[in-house]
């Protein structure tokens, strides 16, 4: 099966055909595969974009440099959001691989993106990456005055369950001087974690 045929199948209405094409592309890719998938990130059709995001996630760390570069340079919120989601997919598909520093840096930068779609997705992606992202999340939580971003980071720290994250959440939950909504979010993230550890 040629790469062109697989790219056709990525747009197939049948989800099974699509999924197979995503995995097959990762297997048989050539030097055009990643650039072509990157071009699909600004397709109007959401399902086509999603196929490209997942396929890049399956390909793995080789896709990190173009994703970070596009994330940094694109003016398009949709494209940036797709880059962030693809980085999260890479972490999800390849948990055995250390997530590249360059990817962490890219996501750290996009936490400061003006668009909530991008910065909230970035916090979620860092939560997906887990322990390697703890310091970035903790640091950003201390420095941001963006309430929505703070909540997204609190949830990301809660999903990781690392000791350092727990310490920060506990401190926040008990700090009377902090915004009440943030305290509540930290408290509920902690209670989810306790539940998770007990069950």
Residue 29 pLDDT class (50, 70, 90 cuts): very high
Q: What is the mean pLDDT of residues 57-64?
A: 97
pLDDT digits (tens, 9 = 90+) for 66-115: 999 999 999 999 999 999 999 999 999 999 999 999 999 999 999 999 99
Q: Are 86 and 67 in contact (CB under 8 A)?
A: yes
CA pair distance 174, 177, nearest whole angstrom: 9
Residue 199 pLDDT class (50, 70, 90 cuts): very low
pLDDT digits (tens, 9 = 90+) for 120-158: 999 999 999 999 999 999 999 999 999 999 999 999 999
Cβ within 8 Å of residue 152, ≥6 positions away: 119, 120, 123, 124
Residue 196 pLDDT class (50, 70, 90 cuts): low
Higher-confidence residue: 193 or 153?
A: 153
Q: Which domains does the chain have, with CATH numbers?
A: 1-108 (1.25.10.10), 130-199 (1.25.10.10)
pTM (whole model) above 0.85? yes
Number of other residues whose CB lies within 10 A of the CB of residue 17? 14
């Amino acid at each position: 099966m040629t790469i062109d045929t697989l790219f056709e199948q990525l747009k197939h209405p049948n989800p099974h055909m699509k999924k197979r094409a995503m995995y097959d592309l990762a297997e048989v890719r050539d030097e055009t595969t990643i650039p072509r998938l990157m071009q699909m990130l600004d397709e109007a059709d959401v399902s086509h974009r999603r196929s490209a995001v997942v396929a890049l996630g399956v390909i793995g760390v080789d896709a990190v440099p173009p994703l970070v570069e596009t994330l940094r340079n694109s003016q398009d919120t949709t494209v940036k959001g797709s880059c962030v989601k693809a980085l999260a997919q890479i972490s999800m598909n390849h948990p055995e691989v250390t997530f590249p520093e360059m990817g962490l840096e890219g996501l750290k930068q996009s936490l400061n993106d003006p668009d909530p779609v991008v910065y909230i997705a970035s916090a979620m992606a860092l939560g997906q990456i887990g322990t390697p992202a703890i310091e970035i999340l903790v640091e950003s939580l201390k420095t941001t005055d963006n309430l929505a971003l703070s909540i997204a980071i609190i949830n990301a720290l809660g999903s990781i369950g690392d000791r350092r994250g727990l310490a920060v959440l506990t401190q926040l939950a008990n700090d009377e001087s902090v915004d009440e909504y943030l305290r509540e979010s930290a408290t509920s993230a902690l209670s989810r974690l306790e539940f998770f550890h007990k069950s």
